[in-house]
Structure 1
Amino acid sequence: MDSETLRQKLEQLTGKKTGLKQLGRQQSASLFGVGTEGKEQQPVISEGSLWVPLYDNDGRITTVWVELEGLSSREVQLVNYAAQNFAVALKATGFREEGEVEARQLSSWLNVQLEQEKDDAEIPDDMALKSRLFSDMIPFLLSSENVHSPQVSYRSLMKLLRSYFENEVLLIPLQEKEWLILARKELLTGGDDKEDEEENDDDLLAQTSMGLHELIASEWVGIFHLAVAPAVVPVKGLTGSVALLRETIILGRIFQVGEYIHLPWELRLERLVNSIPDTRRRKLLGQIGDYSSVLSDKEMLLTLETFFEMDCNVSETAKKLYIHRNTLLYRLDKIKQETGADVRSFGDAAIVKLTMLLYKVTKRK
């Protein structure tokens, strides 16, 4: 039995509101005497509730609390007995949950809000981790495609993340093989929040994601995707960020085949195209014209993708493709002959780019 199961059982037993809460070091010391040598941590009554300490994680006590109003003395004894037995069992096994229970509690709440499309829900007070979610944090979403491989344990992934983020990180398991990572913004910016450097935030997040992906890839076997969003104050903006990250990975799998790091600000046009109903997308493809001969040719498709990635710069595209400039010009002329579109002009380039995206998402259906 884990702590969340204990909480649910106590709530069923008493019919009263119960919760789990990880206290800060100061509150832990005040309520339970943490740090006082030789002092045994005992249940206490505070703010109309009974608080029973479960385990200590670096001076932060995780407790289960139960509202006292209307409870008989016998019910209070039963709550004490059940909670303290659980705490004794944890101590006897030498097991330290290190925030996993609190993370899974938040995960359950997050998944409910996302299923109900409540992207602006505020984290409630009874969430044990709420006290650690008031400052700016960077959200990452990690999603594995390894259907048949064993699930990575919370402890092993947390150990890996701490080596990268210098211990200042929260890990929240969402669905199977899907993990939300929250890192303090200061660790990515070096504590420098100068307004004139805000334009570099996207590059900084992209570089951090590359390093994190490389680290995890060195330890894991198989394919996984990573997305990152701008800093958010999790207590109010976490559900919206997770929704954005999930959508970003879905779009990345459709439009960025072969890539595994996906950035929402690089998928704005793709997000727009994906929002168009399928029947409308097919109708638009028919109205634009037949580009299938070009888009079904891997070499031509790669040429176009690289050309747009290099902002339609012929010289830079040729370098990126490791081909002669004249070879690239020949391919662009061939595309013009087959489609009538000269991608060196802005108007035609925009139409071809839109057609590529429509073709990708429609072909995927």
Structure 2
Amino acid sequence: MDSEVLRQKLEQLTGKRTGIKQLGRQHSASLFGIGAEEQDQPVVHEGHLWVPLYENDGRVTAIWLELDGLTPMEIQLVNYAARNFAVALKATGLKEEGEIEARQLSGWLNAQLEQEKNEAEIPDEMTLKGRLVGEMIPFLLVSENVHNPQVTYRSLMKLLRSYFENEILLIPLQEKEWLILARKELLTGGDDKEDEEESADDLLAQTCMGLHELIASEWVGVFHLAVAPAIIPVKGLTGSVALLRETIILGRIFQVGDYIHLPWELHMERLVNSIPDDRRRQLLGQIGDYTSVLADKEMLLTLETFFEMDCNVSETAKKLYIHRNTLLYRLDKIKQETGADVRSFGDAAIVKLAMLLYKVTKRK
């Protein structure tokens, strides 16, 4: 059980407002007496019961509960539950990594996303809200390792800090799904001026590739990684997570074999995926029969690479490590079997659409 579940259960049990808050050093010392033997004891202050969960660098994170109207037995039960949780938490060592605050925000985020509240603002009771000011870059990491041991918060945080120089927040969302928030200035070097040679999208893509390589070098298995443009998390976090989740879903469908997925490269895929299944099958039939080409792995790879290289014959041949004449032969064969010359824009657009429709219908 994490702290957010504890808070919800106490609120349901008592019918009173509860919350989790990280106190400043001065407030922590005055309320709990940091450094004294009594520092782990609950405190009644201004009509609230405060139970310390853990202390980090002089700052205490505590759970609070309104006392008005509660019986002595209810207060005793609340205190017992919170104290047992604090003892168990201390034994796990989670306090050193700030996992409890992250899981509190995770519970709120998942609740908003389940209700499709993609514009919800982070409430004041979220302990991490004070650290979510300014622009941040969101990454979503999803593991497909079914049989391997689950990656721990501590081990992943340690790895991320080595890459982002310690300026990151890690939020565990669902099982084997992690949200990573990095300060925008870490990617721009503190310079807000756009680099003439590298666009913001290129910089994000390079950072994403570097991060994926680092994770892949440390852990065996398949990991998907997506990144979105900078946001101000207090107001834009839920919408950004929804976009990143959709991006990875689309990447798994349309970019088989790739593990880095960028939302700005999936506009047409997003449109095709939004079409009802029956309508997609109908459109695929109306466009024409491209099955013989799209079912051939070599031809499908050729088309995917050709479109990736903006229909440039020379660059496509280099990317596929084949002779230019071999590529031209394949393109001619596609024209013979389908009647479409993908070297012309109109036919290329139709074949691209047919390829996307085929992927989302035939591979389901």
Scaled by the length of structure 1, what TM-score is found? 0.89
Aligned length: 362
Q: Measured at CA, do residues 38 and 307 of structure 1 come closer, stay the same or move farther in structure 2, by a change above 3 Å?
A: same
| Correspondence 1:277-288 to 2 at 5 A | 277-288=276-287
Provide the C-alpha distance between the structure 2 equivalents of 1:178 and 1:217, rounded to a whole number of angstroms.
Answer: 15
> Displacement of 1:3 after TM fit?
3.7
Provide the C-alpha distance between the structure 2 equivalents of 1:81 and 1:295, rounded to a whole number of angstroms.
Answer: 63
3-state DSSP class of the match of 2:127?
Answer: coil
Deviations 1:116-162 (A, max 9, x none): 11111112222222222222211111111112222111111111112
Structure 1 spans left out of the alignment, 5+ residues: none
What letter corresponds to residue 18 of structure 2 in structure 1? T
Match of 1:151 in 2: 150
What letter corresponds to residue 21 of structure 1 in structure 2? K
3-state DSSP class of the match of 2:199?
Answer: helix
Provide the C-alpha distance between the structure 2 equivalents of 1:168 and 1:220, rounded to a whole number of angstroms.
Answer: 22
> Displacement of 1:52 after TM fit?
3.2
Provide the C-alpha distance between the structure 2 equivalents of 1:142 and 1:314, rounded to a whole number of angstroms.
Answer: 34
> Displacement of 1:15 after TM fit?
2.9
Contact in 1 for aligned 2:4/2:107 (Cα 8 Å): no
Contact in 2 for aligned 1:21/1:129 (Cα 8 Å): no
Match of 2:165 in 1: 166
Deviations 1:57-80 (A, max 9, x none): 233321111224445677667655
Q: Measured at CA, do residues 342 and 85 of structure 1 come closer, stay the same or move farther in structure 2, by a change above 3 Å?
A: closer
Provide the C-alpha distance between the structure 2 equivalents of 1:197 and 1:84, rounded to a whole number of angstroms.
Answer: 56
Q: Measured at CA, do residues 333 and 186 of structure 1 come closer, stay the same or move farther in structure 2, by a change above 3 Å?
A: same
> Displacement of 1:24 after TM fit?
4.5
Contact in 2 for aligned 1:138/1:183 (Cα 8 Å): yes
| Correspondence 1:201-240 to 2 at 5 A | 201-240=200-239
3-state DSSP class of the match of 1:129?
Answer: helix
Match of 2:17 in 1: 17
What letter corresponds to residue 145 of structure 2 in structure 1? N
Match of 2:7 in 1: 7
Q: CA RMSD in A?
A: 2.6
**2:112 paired with 1:100:** no
3-state DSSP class of the match of 2:279?
Answer: helix
What letter corresponds to residue 11 of structure 2 in structure 1? E
Provide the C-alpha distance between the structure 1 equivalents of 2:197 and 2:121, rounded to a whole number of angstroms.
Answer: 26
Percent of paired sites with the same residue: 85
| Correspondence 1:30-45 to 2 at 5 A | 41=39
Contact in 1 for aligned 2:3/2:103 (Cα 8 Å): no
What letter corresponds to residue 211 of structure 1 in structure 2? G
Q: Measured at CA, do residues 74 and 300 of structure 1 come closer, stay the same or move farther in structure 2, by a change above 3 Å?
A: closer
3-state DSSP class of the match of 2:116?
Answer: coil
Deviations 1:237-266 (A, max 9, x none): 111111111111111111111111111111
Structure 2 spans left out of the alignment, 5+ residues: none
Match of 1:297 in 2: 296
Contact in 1 for aligned 2:94/2:100 (Cα 8 Å): no
What letter corresponds to residue 125 of structure 1 in structure 2? D
Provide the C-alpha distance between the structure 2 equivalents of 1:9 and 1:302, rounded to a whole number of angstroms.
Answer: 53
Contact in 2 for aligned 1:55/1:96 (Cα 8 Å): no
Q: Measured at CA, do residues 356 and 48 of structure 1 come closer, stay the same or move farther in structure 2, by a change above 3 Å?
A: same
Match of 1:326 in 2: 325
Contact in 1 for aligned 2:2/2:103 (Cα 8 Å): no
Match of 1:306 in 2: 305
Provide the C-alpha distance between the structure 2 equivalents of 1:60 and 1:274, rounded to a whole number of angstroms.
Answer: 47
Runs of 4+ in 1 over 4 A off after TM superposition: 24-34, 37-40, 42-48, 71-91, 195-199
Contact in 2 for aligned 1:57/1:96 (Cα 8 Å): no
Provide the C-alpha distance between the structure 1 equivalents of 2:286 and 2:93, rounded to a whole number of angstroms.
Answer: 64
